[in-house]
Each structure stands twice: as C-alpha cells, then as structure tokens.
Structure 1
Amino acid sequence: MNLASLPARLALAPVLLAQGLMVRARAQRLPEPPGPRSGSAGAGPPLRLLIAGDSSAAGVGCADQAQALSGQLVVRLAARHRLAWRLEAATGATTADIIARLAALPPEPFDAAVIALGVNDTTRMRPRARWESDIAALHALLQTRFGIAVTLWSGVPPMGRFPLLPNPLRATLGALAARNDASLARIAATTSGLCHLPLDLPLTPDLMASDGYHPNAAACALWADRLATALATALSAPASP
C-alpha cells in the first residue's frame, strides 16, 4: 500500500487521527533555546547569510543557539568568511508561514540562504501541489526581496525514523516526507539558484533530543558540516545562464 496516497490515508484516517492526538498530548515540548539570532563573525571574503525554517532551525532540542544549527553553521562558515547572518525560524512553521514571516521583513540584501522546512508541511498532510507551489513561492521571494543568488534547502527529514511516532502514523508520515523530499529535489534540479541537500543524518537515538523528534547538538554538528560543505560548493559554482 502506498501510504502517501490519498486513498490509503483516508482508509487509515481514524487511526492516524487518534495517534496524532495521542502524540500531541504526550509529547515533551521543548523550548526554542536562548541565544543570538543575528550577528557577524570571522574574516575573509564577505558572506551575508539568511537561515530560515521551523523548530529544527530555531534550535529546539539544543540547550542554546551556539549548539543549535545556526550557531554551529556560523562557526564553520566564519572560518572562511567575514560572515553576517540572520536566523528567521519558529516552532511549528510551515513553508507558507515562513513566506509570510519573510514578506513582512524590510528588504535586506543577502548572498545565500539555508532553509530547513518541510516537517510541518508533512504533518499537516499538505497536498503535493500546495507544497510544490510554496517551494516556488519561497524561492522567488528570496530572490526578489533579498537578492539571494544561492538557496540551499535541507531535505525533508526521514520521518519514518522518528522514535516518537507510533505506527502506522510513523510509516505514513515517512512516506509523505519521502514524497515531499522527492518533489523538492526535482524542483531544485530544474531551478536556477536552488540546491537540495538530502538530510542523510542517521537519526539514531544518540543524535535525537529527549523528545524523540528533534536533532540534538551532536546531530546539529553533523548537519552543519554537511550544509557548510554544500554551501561552499554552491557558492563556487559558475552562475547558470
């Protein structure tokens, strides 16, 4: 059975709803950690970076922003660049939420963006067409409002491996996450300035926060390594005609 299909989800709807309510009621709610969400660091060629996303980008699962994705990515990029950076992320954010959040900001020039979105679009079971149109809308906004030439979108996590989720909810969200990630990869392959980086972290228990849902500091270190390497490659690539 293709659990990402609408008929399969309709057939399982009573179970999925009950499990979703149970997970929401029992889940440990971790806060967004304290720490700076903008700043400058390093020396070298200038790089202006916008980081945007959901709770994983906001640092949920880590004790402070220095341990979270933004802090660890800043350290790696500042080793090569005079980096100016800004984090715009919120727990529960969908791609549409981040579009609205960024559209409300004053225009500001950035060179590159790192995006971590897709989990909440998946849990809300947004139709594939809506997800794909939101990808295109966010990419267009980053280009037109902020002048961003390179957007690196971290892949949708493999939710079928999230320890918190019971089956069949886990398997269903895993199938939807894989479908959404495939859409993102396909769009990036044909869109100038948009890069997709598969989220291939192992997500073993030692890399998960205590809630069984978010990456911990060790996972964010691995994640930041991969993003920094991919961003360096994307920035050095010749511009598409």
Structure 2
Amino acid sequence: MHAPFWLTTALLFPVLLYQGKRTRRVTPRLPEATGDCAGQYGEGEPVFRLLVLGESTAAGVGVENHAQGLASQLALQLHQRTGLCIGWSTFGVNGIRLGALLDALGSADLPPADAVLLSMGVNDTTGFTPRFRFRRQLIQLRETLATRYQAPITLLSVPPMDKFSALPAPLRQVMGWRARQLDRVYQVLAARKPEDFRYLGYPTVSDPALLARDGYHPSDKGYRAIAQALAEQDWGLLLP
C-alpha cells in the first residue's frame, strides 16, 4: 500500500480536480505525427529492426512527421553509431492506456522486429491505473507478443511528470509521485523477469527548448535528445 500518496491525493483532491480540468482546457491538444510509420537508415536489408509501441510519444505527438519521432530518431542514432542498416516502425495512439493498447494490438498488423520498445505510463498515471493492474497488463502484453518477438520488451521508464511545465503545482508533484510508482513496477518486473523485460531510464526532458508548444510532449529536439541517450544503451549491435 502507498498510504501517504493516497492520503495526500485525497486531501488535495478538490485542488487537483480543478487544476486537472483547467490544464486540459488551456493546454493545446497537438495532433499525432503524419507520414510513414516505418522506414530505414542505410542501404539494403536492415540488420536490426526496431519497433516502438505506446502512447503519444510512439504516435509522434509534438512533431509533424514520424521521421522526427522517437522510433525514427533512435534508428538514425543507431545507424550513425554502427554504420549498419537499421529499420524502424512505430505504433502509437495518443491518450491510450496500457489496457486499451492491448486491445488495439490484437487486431494490429505489426511488422517483424528485433527489439520492441514500450513507451507508456503517462495516461495510466493520470488515470490512476492501479499498480497491480498495470503489472498484470504488462505481463499480458509480453504473452501477446512472445510468439512474434523473442527478445525481452524494453520498458522505457515512465516520464518524470513532475518536470512537465504544463502542469501546475501541486498537480505536477502528485503526478510525478504517481509516475514514479508505476515506474517502480517496470523496474521490479525487469529485475524479476529479465528474460521478458528490460528497463531503460528515461532521459529528463525539462529544457523548454526540448518541449513542444504544449509544454507536455517532446519537440523534434526533445525526441532527438531522448534518442541520443537511448542509443548509448546496449542494443546487441556489433560494430562492423
């Protein structure tokens, strides 16, 4: 139990409710990115294929074209670091929670991939998805994808919502607190089931220059900064 969190939330509920409604009303709602949801960097057949699944970051909210988004930019960074041909694809829905993503994947025509990166958690944070349900849905996701993708699912940590400039205090602090709780679910799962999950820390995007005009999602510079940090991790690629 996280009694201090729920007690704080209950005491602040009228303020949080007002701030949440006002934030939704005044924050610009940016569209999902357009353009091809897949591509590659390098000539010939890709030797490594990356698939990004998730919510608004996978949907490219904050940039105009998917080529500027997380999957494409991470593939570009890996290509530049290794010289290898890297393929990328992305499947994301703005505003979706993990349970709804599971439903959407049931009818999705997903491409082959050597690595699956999951970018989720913001909407489950704001929607107060119970931690036990979040964990169960992650396990269901792994079971759903296991026959198609053998490698562990890479869990990109839940964004640090206490850094989101679009959120006022104390809403920002409470959402950051809740995001850390869901992120802990990621960390524990990855530690206990390394054959199914691995965890990657989320690079903090707090510089206004790295945020889109809504102060909530990454800009093109933000996605590029996140991709640069993630490309430094071990993706099982060997230099030619």
Common topology (TM > 0.5) = yes
Q: Does 1:100 align with 2:103?
A: yes
* 2:60 partner amino acid: G
Other-structure match for 1:63: 64
Other-structure match for 1:181: 183
1:133-189 Cα distance to aligned partner (Å, 9 max, x none):
122222222223x22313222111110111111111111101001111122111111
Report the Cα offset of residue 108 of structure 1.
5.0
Other-structure match for 2:221: 218
Taking a change above 3 Å as real, the CA distance of residues 94 and 234 of structure 1, as seen in their structure-2 partners, is same
Taking a change above 3 Å as real, the CA distance of residues 216 and 51 of structure 1, as seen in their structure-2 partners, is same
Other-structure match for 1:35: 35
Structure 2 spans left out of the alignment, 5+ residues? none
Q: 1:73-112 maps to which residues of 2 (within 5 A)?
A: 73-79=74-80, 80=82, 81-106=84-109, 109-112=112-115
Other-structure match for 2:150: 148
Q: Does 1:132 align with 2:135?
A: yes
Count of matched residue positions in the alignment of Structure 1 and Structure 2:
233
Instruction: Give the alignment partner of residue 202 of structure 2, picking from 195, 199, 204.
Output: 199
Other-structure match for 1:24: 24
Taking a change above 3 Å as real, the CA distance of residues 3 and 119 of structure 1, as seen in their structure-2 partners, is farther
CA contact (8 A) 1:111 1:150 kept: no
CA distance in 1, matches of 2:36, 2:46: 23
CA contact (8 A) 2:211 2:217 kept: yes
Q: Please state whether the residue corresponding to 2:232 is helix, strand or coil.
A: helix
CA distance in 1, matches of 2:164, 2:225: 17
Larger mean CA deviation between 101-110 and 52-61 belongs to 101-110
Larger mean CA deviation between 64-73 and 205-214 belongs to 64-73
Q: Please state whether the residue corresponding to 2:231 is helix, strand or coil.
A: helix
Other-structure match for 1:172: 174
Taking a change above 3 Å as real, the CA distance of residues 14 and 75 of structure 1, as seen in their structure-2 partners, is same
Other-structure match for 1:115: 118
* 1:68 partner amino acid: G
Report the Cα offset of residue 20 of structure 1.
0.9
CA contact (8 A) 2:205 2:218 kept: no
1:80-123 Cα distance to aligned partner (Å, 9 max, x none):
43333321101101111221122212475422101110000001
* 1:89 partner amino acid: G
Q: Please state whether the residue corresponding to 2:68 is helix, strand or coil.
A: coil
Taking a change above 3 Å as real, the CA distance of residues 228 and 165 of structure 1, as seen in their structure-2 partners, is same
CA distance in 1, matches of 2:4, 2:89: 35
CA distance in 1, matches of 2:190, 2:66: 29
Other-structure match for 1:54: 55
Q: Please state whether the residue corresponding to 1:235 is helix, strand or coil.
A: coil
CA distance in 2, matches of 1:129, 1:27: 31
